[in-house]
């Protein structure tokens, strides 16, 4: 029997798809390259913005047509499109055989293998098959924050941390199969441990810093990353641990969302601009080589031009290495959707979005330009033929920047290579292994 999984959305969704694939593989199922070769087609959906939802619905429509031609094929839909009530979805998409909320893998497996024991004992030790030298490991599921624009807490539920023991077993299993870099995932990853019991004999609960310390000695593991940071949960203990643990990469993705206090309050982010600035300066003070990225939403309910300019100014002042910018997309069921007006025309949202992109392109070009001549540690993740017929290798430096390089000596995916930067754009660095003679 063969399965095909189509995934939309964030790294958490990718990790969920990999876990479902591992569960299916444990039961003897094989992957199919295309849905039309599969007995089970799974759609792992994202509804963070309308565009992502539209893509999932478009793909589901293609599966409906395929199912009409291919009798016996089962269609499962999982991920954030699936809330606690599925009646409306069942009515709208009657060809879907099974609906599963995020991480409810067993609902899908029970549907295809009724009667099997796939509960409690089965899932914790189903570890995904690595696809290369890097892997995502969810450490805390769900979110308790309820930012007014965001659908995530309604679909992924409250924060639930995995035990340190289970995460270490997964990390060791991945490292044993060639994974060198782990990215620990949580919607707000610093929430890790808040719902766990206290450390035996201690007076506090485990946190992300404990996780860094416990994972660092895992044999074969060379890098640890973490995503996504939440300013209010960022403790000095966590920052110090990033500074101290050599395997933990000095990169934080710490969304600000807006540079204006009134907008932040309307978003219910739980911090002011001043508190956010304090968080960034605590990080920069203790981790001087840090690279920082952030997320921003433009055009949130009645955002004025002056409020938008405050965001632009904050981004100019803080000079992030990367900014993920999105136009506000009202999500049915959220607080903003119920109580606030989405008044801004789409063209104005896009004008603001492009203004952020343009400003950030300049800043990133300047930041990356300052790295010319430096040597960067690169974990090689891929290779392809370059325009001149030479192989171009691609990887990321510790700060999560893309680095492309060519090499006169053999390079294998998974190698850690020191690359001297010879060119830089806003999007990537390019160079040659350090030690390669510089040609005139
Ligand atoms: N938990 C993280 C945080 O605290 O910001 C982010 C996780 S969220 C799933 C990923 C990003 O999607 C957010 O940073 C936000 O910028 C964006 N996002 C969430 N809801 C959105 C909406 N309704 N419209 C536009 N962008 C949205
Ligand atoms: Fe959504 Fe806010 Fe939770 Fe991030 S912290 S997942 S933006 S509710």
Q: Which pLDDT tens digit goes with each residue over 91-114?
A: 999 999 999 999 888 889 888 876
Q: Counting atoms of ligand 2 from 1, which one is nearest the CA of 143?
A: 3
Q: pTM to 2 decimals?
A: 0.94
Instruction: Report the C-alpha gap between 103 and 20 in whole angstroms.
Output: 8
Query: What is residue 26's three-state secondary structure?
Result: helix
**Which of 13, 47, 255, 266 to mutate to test ligand 1, by most ligand atoms within 8 A of the CB atom?**
255
**CA of residue 274 to ligand 1 center, whole Å:** 21
Q: Residue 295: CB partners within 8 Å, gap ≥ 6?
A: 228, 253, 255, 256, 257, 323, 324, 325, 326
Half-sphere exposure of 35 (CA within 13 A, CB side): 21
Q: What span, in angstroms and rounded, lies between the C-alpha atoms of 407 and 211?
A: 36
Mutate to test the pocket of ligand 2, among 146, 295, 329 (most ligand atoms within 8 A of CB): 146
- Which residues form ligand 1's pocket by a CB distance below 6 Å? 10, 48-49, 149-150, 152, 187-188, 228, 230, 255, 257, 295, 297, 326, 328-329, 331
Closest C-alpha among 190, 83, 105, 175 to residue 139: 190
- Which tokens go with 219? 């044999």
Task: Please write down the long-range contacts of 168-172, taking CB distance under 8 Å and 24 or more positions apart.
Answer: 168/214, 168/215, 168/218, 169/125, 169/127, 170/127, 170/137, 171/137, 171/215, 171/218, 171/221, 172/218, 172/219
150 Cα to the center of ligand 1, angstroms: 6
Tokens of 423: 């060119």
**Helix, strand, or coil (residue 128):** coil
- Stretches where the chain sits below pLDDT 50 are 440
Ligand 2 atom closest to the CA of 188, numbered from 1: 5
Q: CA-CA distance, 392 to 403, in Å (whole number)?
A: 10
Establish whether residue 297 lines the binding site of ligand 2, counting it when its CB lies within 6 angstroms of any ligand atom.
Answer: no
Task: Give 396's strand partners.
Answer: 379, 402
Atom of ligand 1 nearest to the CA of 336: 23
What are φ and ψ of residue 110, in 5° steps? Answer: -65, -30
Which residues lie across from 137 on neighbouring strands? 184
Tokens at residue 99, please?
A: 């609906």
Local structure of 168: helix, strand or coil: helix
Give the residue among 186, 85, 147 at the shortest CA–CA distance from 331.
147
Give the tokens for residue 438.
């510089």
Atom of ligand 1 nearest to the CA of 324: 16
């Amino acid at each position: 029997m063969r399965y095909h999984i189509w995934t939309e959305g964030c790294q958490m969704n990718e990790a969920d798809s990999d876990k479902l694939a591992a569960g299916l593989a444990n039961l003897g199922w094989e992957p199919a390259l295309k849905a039309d070769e599969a007995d089970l087609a799974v759609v792992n959906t994202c509804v963070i913005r309308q565009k992502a939802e539209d893509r999932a619905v478009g793909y589901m429509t293609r599966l409906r047509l395929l199912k009409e031609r291919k009798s016996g094929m089962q269609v499962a839909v999982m991920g954030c499109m699936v809330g606690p009530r599925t009646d409306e979805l069942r009515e709208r998409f009657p060809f879907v055989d099974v609906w599963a909320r995020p991480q409810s893998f067993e609902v899908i497996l029970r549907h295809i293998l009724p009667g099997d024991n796939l509960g409690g004992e089965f899932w914790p030790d189903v570890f995904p098959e690595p696809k290369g030298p890097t892997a995502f490991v969810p450490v805390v599921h769900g979110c308790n924050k309820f930012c007014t624009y965001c659908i995530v807490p309604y679909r992924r539920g409250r924060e639930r941390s995995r035990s340190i023991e289970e995460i270490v077993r997964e990390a060791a299993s991945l490292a044993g199969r060639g994974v060198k870099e782990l990215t620990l995932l949580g919607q707000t990853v610093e929430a890790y441990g808040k719902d766990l019991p206290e450390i035996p004999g201690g007076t506090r609960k485990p946190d992300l810093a404990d996780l860094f310390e416990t994972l660092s000695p895992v044999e074969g593991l060379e890098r640890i990353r973490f995503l996504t940071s939440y300013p209010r949960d960022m403790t000095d203990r966590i920052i110090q641990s990033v500074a101290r643990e050599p395997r933990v990469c000095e990169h934080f993705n710490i969304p600000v969302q807006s540079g204006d206090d009134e907008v932040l309050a309307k978003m219910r982010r739980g911090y002011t601009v001043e508190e956010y600035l304090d968080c960034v300066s605590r990080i920069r003070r203790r981790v001087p080589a840090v690279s920082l990225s952030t997320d921003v939403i433009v055009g949130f309910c009645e955002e004025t031009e002056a409020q938008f300019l405050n965001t632009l100014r904050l981004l100019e002042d803080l000079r992030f290495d990367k900014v993920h910018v999105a136009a506000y997309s009202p999500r049915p069921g959220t607080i903003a959707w119920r109580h606030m007006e989405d008044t801004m025309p789409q063209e104005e949202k896009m004008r603001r979005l492009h203004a952020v992109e343009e400003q950030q392109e300049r800043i990133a070009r300047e930041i990356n330009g300052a790295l010319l001549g430096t040597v960067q540690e690169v974990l090689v993740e891929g290779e392809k033929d370059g325009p001149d017929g030479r192989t171009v290798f691609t990887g990321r430096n510790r700060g999560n920047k893309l680095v492309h390089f060519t090499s006169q000596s053999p390079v294998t995916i998974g190698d850690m290579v020191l690359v001297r930067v010879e060119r830089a754009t806003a999007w990537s660095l390019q160079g040659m292994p350090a030690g390669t003679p510089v040609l005139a």
